[in-house]
Amino acid sequence: MKCCSGYRKFWYCGLEGVPQPLSNFTIKGKYGQCYICKRVAGGCTDFKYNPRRNAISKIAYKIAGSSVLFYKMPKEWRLHKRAIATQLYEAGKDVASAIEARKTRKNGFVYFISHPKLQGIKVGSAFDVHSRLSTYQTYCPERSFVLEHYHYFDDCREAESDIQNLMGPWHLSGEWYDVDTQLTNFFLGKVCEGATVQ
């Protein structure tokens, strides 16, 4: 029996080979199967749901510019982007890893985070922005922090510093600035003009 397999926004049914929306699948533990296969005796339970691989793929797509651009790249380039994404994921998976990696690594993401009840936008750098966002959400009972956007740089600390210098007149405190997303996009564009983006 063929098993269900995953691909981007659809998983393919193992029995019919037809793409099904994610809502047609159940995930129990690390395994997933569609409702069609589940109805058949035995079903298929060999598709592994892997959150680590999904997080690394998300980082690799962002480094490449999008998932479409990622899959248009030659295989060697894709493997290189995925290797960088794996390193960034491992470096940013927890606070201790990030502090240690920050001593030696320069590449990473500059991110912009906002909160509906706070004034302004926070500008920061991280190896794994989704892990960083999760850390912020831990301290917010409503989990209301929003990741406005983020961009990959070969030297994220220098890029973060350049963006913060451009936003100096709007500084509130720490890494918070009284700007909106349109203005942050403008400043990000200014810094990207001179950046080497992989």
If you ran DSSP here, which 8-state letter would residue 50 be given? Answer: -
Structure confidence at residue 33 as a pLDDT band (50, 70, 90)? low
Which tens digit of pLDDT belongs to each residue from 92-130?
777 777 777 777 788 888 899 988 888 889 998 888 888
SS3 content of the chain, % helix, strand, coil (to 5): 45, 25, 30
The closest alpha carbon to 65, from 181, 167, 192, 156, belongs to 192
- The domain limits of the chain are 5-49, 54-193
Residue 83 has pLDDT above 80, yes or no: yes
Three-state DSSP state, 92: helix
Q: pTM for this structure?
A: 0.64
Q: Tell me what pLDDT residue 149 has.
A: 84
Q: Is the pLDDT of residue 53 over 60?
A: yes
